[in-house]
Structure 1
Amino acid sequence: MTDPASTAVPATAARIRPLTARLVRDQAGDGLASLLLDAVAGGASVGFLAPLSRADAAGWWRGVAERMERGTRRVWAAYGAGGRLVGTVSLVRAPMPNQPHRGDLVKLLVHSEARGRGLGAELLATAEAAARLAGLTLLVLDTETGGAAERLYRRVGWTPAGTVPDYALTPAGDPHPTTYYYKRL
């Protein structure tokens, strides 16, 4: 199997591929860490405070690889020009026995240089299609209220379920509301 990180694609398109736990581990300190660092540096509320170190970003991705090996998480990556990693999205199956039909979409990340070209919507569509194939009928996610991601989710058919004030801190450490969304498949 060809390593997606070494596969070049045209500058005008991104190729989205599922990642294995091994590939996540191999790319944790490089492309994946860079993507997470870019998101946090850009102010995205994705669970981390600034400044985020490369070592901490890589460590977080290595933890993702462990969850993938346990079968609780799937990750897709988008590769742009020259095989550069420009986006990710993850699907996490609900852990409780009474929720086998549900999953969470998490860590939709698109590099700042690749935004505004529909890549976020493509990554979402990829994860949603995989969720359908896995028999899931309901997806949920949360996002910083008022941000660009929220506009994307509404545009591609996600329904807001409610907003929690001061739910999380922005990378700068300021409390900010979070809105929960769901999508029936």
Structure 2
Amino acid sequence: MAIEVLDAAGARAAIPELCDVLIECVDGGASVSFMAPLSRDKAAAFWEGVADGVARGERVLIVARAEVIVGTVQMVPAPQENQPHRADIAKLLVRDHARGRGVAASLMAAAETAARTAGRTLLVLDTASGEAGERVYARLGWTAVGKVPGYALFPDGRPCDTTFFYKNLRARDAVDAPDQSIDLTRTAAP
């Protein structure tokens, strides 16, 4: 498995595979901003917007590739003037057949490295409460702040409680240095 940071051209070239990942996750019940059934056109429009954000330097798109893309995550630096130290982690998605193989952990390590590279030391994210993501983030050393009942919906329309997490990279630097073997140079998709 290779972890890659995609530039805008690479993101655009990867849209068909990224659509596959997103649609599979939504069809599988992941509460990631979309309702089921998620059309390919709507998924493609989302990823085109992500590619535009990459081109503007507003986000970093990271993928895990094992012949095809099996997972993805984004690091989104806070745009607010008074938050130059903060970034959001968004859309950690892993295909069903690749789960339990360290893909999420590798993607999150790369997102943390990208954040450090961008000078961001405080990361925040939210995830569906009681789902696999919540366990992944806790295992990776993220701190749960609290839960908001009914914050979002699952793709089938059921209310979804959401847990908010943060990670202070500055406090972790001395204890948990990033894996320097991850190549975070911006690469285009083949």
Q: TM-score, normalised by structure 2?
A: 0.87
- The residue number in structure 2 matching 1:99 is 83
Distance 2:55 2:114 in 1: 18
Distance 1:177 1:59 in 2: 27
- The residue number in structure 1 matching 2:149 is 165
What is the aligned-residue RMSD (CA, Å)?
0.7
Using CA pairs below 8 Å that are at least 6 residues apart, which structure has the higher relative contact order? 2
- The residue number in structure 1 matching 2:13 is 26
Distance 1:85 1:119 in 2: 11
The size of the alignment, in residue pairs, is 169
Q: Please say if residues 60 and 114 of structure 2, whose CA atoms lie closer than 8 Å, have aligned partners that are also in contact.
A: no
Superposed displacement of residue 23, structure 1: 1.5
SS of residue in 1 equivalent to 2:14: helix
Distance 1:123 1:133 in 2: 15
Residue identity opposite 1:78 in structure 2: A
For structure 1, the residue ranges without an aligned partner over 5 or more in a row are 1-13
Q: Does residue 1:69 correspond to 2:55, yes or no?
A: yes
User: Following superposition of structure 1 onto structure 2, how do residues 46-57 of structure 1 map, counting pairs within 5 Å?
Assistant: 46-57=32-43
Distance 1:64 1:90 in 2: 9
- The residue number in structure 1 matching 2:179 is none
Q: TM-score, normalised by structure 1?
A: 0.90
Q: Does residue 1:88 correspond to 2:72, yes or no?
A: yes
Residue identity opposite 1:91 in structure 2: M
Distance 1:133 1:63 in 2: 23
Distance 1:55 1:139 in 2: 31
Superposed displacement of residue 33, structure 1: 0.4
Q: Percent identity?
A: 53
Q: Does residue 1:17 correspond to 2:4, yes or no?
A: yes
Distance 1:134 1:24 in 2: 19
